[in-house]
Amino acid sequence: MDTMVIEARQTDAAAPADGPILVLDRVRKVFRSDGVEFEALKGVSLGVREGEFVSITGESGSGKSTLLSILGAISPPTSGVISMDDIDVASLGTDQVADLRREYIGIVFQQFHLIPYLTALENVMLPLCITKRSGAEQREMAMDSLTRVGLGSKGGRLPSQLSGGEQQRVAVARALVNEPPIILADEPTGNLDTKTGEEIFRLLTRLNEAGETVVLVTHNPDLAHRTTRQIRLRDGLVESDALNS
């Protein structure tokens, strides 16, 4: 059986830095369809410090996934400010936003989004294809990332040859391959059984202990209580934001 190897990125990974690495200030997000507007976020302000493990909870439709997509600079806010490491994301062009996202953010989705005809190793290599790294370097980095999540011996397997938990670990490895300081996870245990979901959560916990900033969207109250901080949304607003004891 493969062993997960998580190497620390900083000397004291358990202690978050003083300043926030992600900041949202009065962020609104309005969706429009057929002349009808829906305000998913209604002026959300929050900051995420480097080294935190934050869970975002709330009922369906509360704005959790919308908030995560804005934190990840995937979807721009309708109004308000988002900054990443003191960089105003709205001031950047499309290519610059893509570069910033690639540098800072790794995203894990509820759906694994693996390419079925590519091996695990090739799926993990995908984010590296647009870089200037050589093919050999890309393969080495992808294998290192698979090893970190305990799948170093299964890089040659297709997704159909892996269990659901292993496929999600491949997705985590893909999110890690560029060595971003922030991992955003949108219901990463939602399609998994309880035991496998626990394994994925423990993996995210180990990554956080090794220095990664982790923001987790979850419906699972048990998992939310085991993060260091819990933000609860209700009707597009922050209902509560507190450290877990």
Q: Does 115 fall in a domain?
A: yes
Q: Which tens digits make up the pLDDT trace of 178-187? A: 999 999 999 9
Domain count, the chain: 1
Confidence at residue 12, expressed as pLDDT on a 0 to 100 scale: 41
Q: Does 227 fall in a domain?
A: yes
Q: With pLDDT > 70 as the criterion, what percentage of the chain qualifies?
A: 93
Whether the per-residue pLDDT at 198 is higher than 80: the answer is yes
Q: Does 26 fall in a domain?
A: no
CATH number at residue 62: 3.40.50.300
Q: What is the mean pLDDT of residues 189-196?
A: 90
Q: Which tens digits make up the pLDDT trace of 20-35? A: 999 999 999 999 988 8
Q: Does 4 fall in a domain?
A: no
Confidence at residue 18, expressed as pLDDT on a 0 to 100 scale: 63
Confidence at residue 14, expressed as pLDDT on a 0 to 100 scale: 40
Is the model more confident about 158 or about 14? 158
Whether the per-residue pLDDT at 11 is higher than 50: the answer is no
Residue 237 bridge partners (DSSP): 234
Q: Does 20 fall in a domain?
A: no
Q: Does 136 fall in a domain?
A: yes
Whether the per-residue pLDDT at 136 is higher than 60: the answer is yes
Question: Distance between the two ends of the chain, CA-based, in angstroms?
Answer: 34
Q: Which tens digits make up the pLDDT trace of 96-127? A: 998 899 889 999 988 889 999 999 999 999 98
Report the C-alpha gap between 193 and 104 in whole angstroms. 30
Nearest-5° angle of CA 48, CA 50, CA 51? 110
User: For residue 220, which amino acid is it?
Assistant: N
Confidence at residue 110, expressed as pLDDT on a 0 to 100 scale: 83
Report the C-alpha gap between 39 and 192 in whole angstroms. 31
Contact (Cβ atoms closer than 8 angstroms) between residue 47 and residue 16 = no
User: For residue 17, which amino acid is it?
Assistant: A
- Domain enclosing residue 189, as ranges: 51-76+92-243
Q: Whose CA is closest to 53, among 173, 233, 203, 237?
A: 203
- Edge to edge, the sheet with strand 213-217 lists 105-108, 182-186, 213-217, 53-57, 229-234, 237-243
Confidence at residue 132, expressed as pLDDT on a 0 to 100 scale: 77
Q: With pLDDT > 90 as the criterion, what percentage of the chain qualifies?
A: 80
Q: Does 238 fall in a domain?
A: yes
Q: Does 56 fall in a domain?
A: yes
- pLDDT category, 2, cuts 50, 70, 90? low
